[in-house]
Chain A
Amino acid sequence: MKKPEFYVSMSPHLHSGDSLKKMHFETILALFPAIFAGWLFYGGSALLIIALSAVTAVLTEFLWQKAIGREIRIGDGSALITGILLGLILTSENPWWIPVLGAFVAIVVGKQLFGGLGSHPFNSAVVGWAFLQLSYKGILTNFPLPDPKFLLQPGEFLSDPALITLKDSGVEEIVDLPWKDLFLGNVPAEIGTACVLAILLGGAYLLYRRRITWHIPFSFIASAWVFALIFQQIDPETYASPTFHILSGWMLLGAFFLAPEKGTCPVTAPGMILYGIGCGVITMIIRLWGSYVEGVPFAILLMNAATPLLDRIKPRTVGRIKEIA
């Protein structure tokens, strides 16, 4: 008998070549339009916020993994994405320690305490934001006026974020707000949520690369739209139009980037659709009747908690049929 000379392993003997690095790189690429729009409308301070948050996130992950003796995995890019996303959901006028603190909490509490990538139940960037929101509410509601391009006038229609205006002054204030303003970003907002167009570009890229599927974004947006439409039909004096709700606030950033974060959302098609519907409906409930202005982050956190349950809904296995001849 000759001694074995070749590698043996079980099939398959091929791999698609996909990796976490590629996946996260493409996600960062998809976030670029939003980052660019943030810089265009809010200037260099927006980039500074994103950079502070991103660097802190990566650094925190590095130090944490070093401290508890784990393999250093900052190279896979997941901490970077958490940092960038956190930066995008903050406003550009914040003291420097806000993004730093938020990113630290996002990584440590939102991710590493649960065991790191894939084990954390909640979207870590939203956890960081929620911590800041609960602790420093006054600072976070400091919305600067954008410096809009595309022949739009700053503050022409709104000088406060659209949803805050709606909450404070009622439907009359926003009823003749042109959708172009919301779509392109001529309203005060967070860095990454200002320009709907930029988010759509990034989302389309993710869909094209099949990094996300249509299930969560579509069911999220569609359910919110339908929910808002029902109440607008009942009482147009009190409730804003559904399209206004879709185009304002975190809705699209949430639907394309925050809600479908890998590991925190369900993986089966029916689970993802229910998750999206849950996100959409809870968002609208908070927006219409809640004390908070923006419902998206809380909707996502709540549905994140429901993910293990939704994961139990699976399609019927092929060949799982009752009658056997």
Chain B
Amino acid sequence: MKRLKGISFPSEYGRFENPEIEDLPLPERVVVPLVSRFGEMTPLVSPGAHVLAGQIVAKGTEKWFPPLVASVTGRVSSITPWPTGTGDEGPGLIIEPREKDTPPRRDDLPQKNLHETMRWIQAGDIREVDPSPLPLALRLRKPELVPSAFIPSLPELETSIHSLIINGIDRQPGIWLRKAMIKLFSTELIESIPILREATGATKVFFAVSKGYALEDEFARALRESGVVVVFCPNTYPIALEPLLVPFLTGQELPVNSGGSRQFGTVLLDVVTALKVRAAAYGETPSLDTVVQFTSPSSGLDTLIRVREGTLIEDILKHFSLSEKGLAKVLHNGPFLGTALHRLDVPVTQETDSIILQTEKEITRYSNEPCMNCGYCVRHCPMKLLPNELSKNCEYGRFDAAERMDLFSCIECGICAYVCPVNRPMVQLIRFGKQEIEAVRKEA
């Protein structure tokens, strides 16, 4: 295993000795975005229609994209443009929950037929926090399970899978959702392993956790018995991200813009997704609700909540009786990789892992100081880039020079901006350069 660059961060274990999940009551309305990582979706219901929790309400443009499932039973009141967690806007399906609903459950369990299980996983509308160009239900399939109609357009699925990585490391400092989920759902995690193993046909199964994380004896033994290799990875951000974790565990480096590790025979999924796969295979609908870390340092809140998919952030605030006053920044998906939202009526979806509230005092401001070439960013860059040069090139509009220095290898982890002693907006400039180049390409 190679030495990793990045920033070390203290393990935040004390924060979830006894993790608990608080269930939020049904909100007055949920908003299910009709746009996802896999493009816009076509609604199958019209305003006024009654939907059941678990019912498929929209489908993607390609038949392998996950469908959209209603998370509550109620009436579709309208389809209107709505802000999303990425800071953009897209059509949203607004559903008003009618009454208390009981999520549907299949009875013919446990399912022995692998094809049937795969169909359930596909229909389960499982979405991930980690961006992957391939939907989970496809990525998981060994070549024999891939319908031949998909192969021409998705040649990467022809590779057979050798390694399966279940990622229990949190994406970034300050987030502890996955660590808590392992603790809370260890039995279910063990149950997910045979399903995943059968679907992928992987010979090696890795379970990645942070160094120092205390696995419960029973859980560790169960993992060992099911032939899983537990790897304790350094507490270094951004080890949990695919371009770093896959080479760390398997030795396979992922080329720039290669479209993920699936084409190299590796399937990476996090523990939350593994739990959802298990739920789908056990006849539940995994996409109805989602567990999110909700943190507000100023009011001492740092907790896990379970909400229906599409619950608005303002409803969560209301539940904790937090006022908007004094609130300066709302972070969707963490301090390093997340988006700052400009409003509170953004729905929480499965692609959300955390909501962090910052007050005026906690905000970080960047400045336009000149670079002094101290080299801290170079020292910490996990992709071994030269962020100092890249940011200068992007700042002065020398995009070609930046691209020659592997601008597009940057995974935008944000470490360069985090460590910069003159507070330069390093990764922000790099991102700007990428966008400029892509805009020019689009025009051409």
Contact = CB atoms under 8 A, between A and B. Distances in A.
A213 B345 CA distance: 47
B236 to A, nearest CB: 14
A185 to B, nearest CB: 31
Contacts, number: 157
Contacts of B263: 325
Q: Which of the four size classes fits the interface of chain B?
A: 35 or more
B135 interface: no
A13 B339 CA distance: 9
B334 to A, nearest CB: 8
B421 A11 contact: no
Interface residues of A, number: 42
Given A6-B328, A314-B384, A319-B256, A11 B373 contact: no
A4 B340 contact: no
Interface stretch (B13-21, B183-191, B247-255): B247-255
B241 to A, nearest CB: 11
A5 B324 contact: yes
A75 B440 CA distance: 42
Interface string A8-31: 111111111011101100000000
B427 interface: yes
Contacts of B340: 6-11, 13
Interface of B is mostly: loop
Contacts of A10: 340, 425, 427-428, 431
B409 A318 contact: yes
Interface stretch (A224-232, A237-245, A262-270, A279-287): A262-270
B383 A317 contact: yes
A324 B258 contact: yes
Contact of B384 (A8, A316, A321): A316
Contacts of B258: 319, 324
Contacts of B363: 7, 13
A177 B143 CA distance: 76
Contacts of A11: 334-340, 412, 414, 427
Interface of A: 2, 4-16, 18-20, 22-23, 115-119, 213, 262-263, 265-268, 311, 314-321, 324-325
Given A6-B327, A12-B427, A268-B386, 12 more contacts: A10-B340, A11-B340, A12-B414, A12-B415, A13-B331, A13-B336, A15-B423, A16-B418, A16-B419, A317-B383, A319-B255, A321-B253
9 contacts: A6-B340, A7-B328, A8-B87, A8-B329, A14-B174, A15-B420, A314-B386, A319-B254, A319-B256
* Shortest 7 CB-CB contacts between residues of A and residues of B: A118-B372, A267-B375, A12-B414, A4-B342, A262-B374, A15-B364, A317-B406
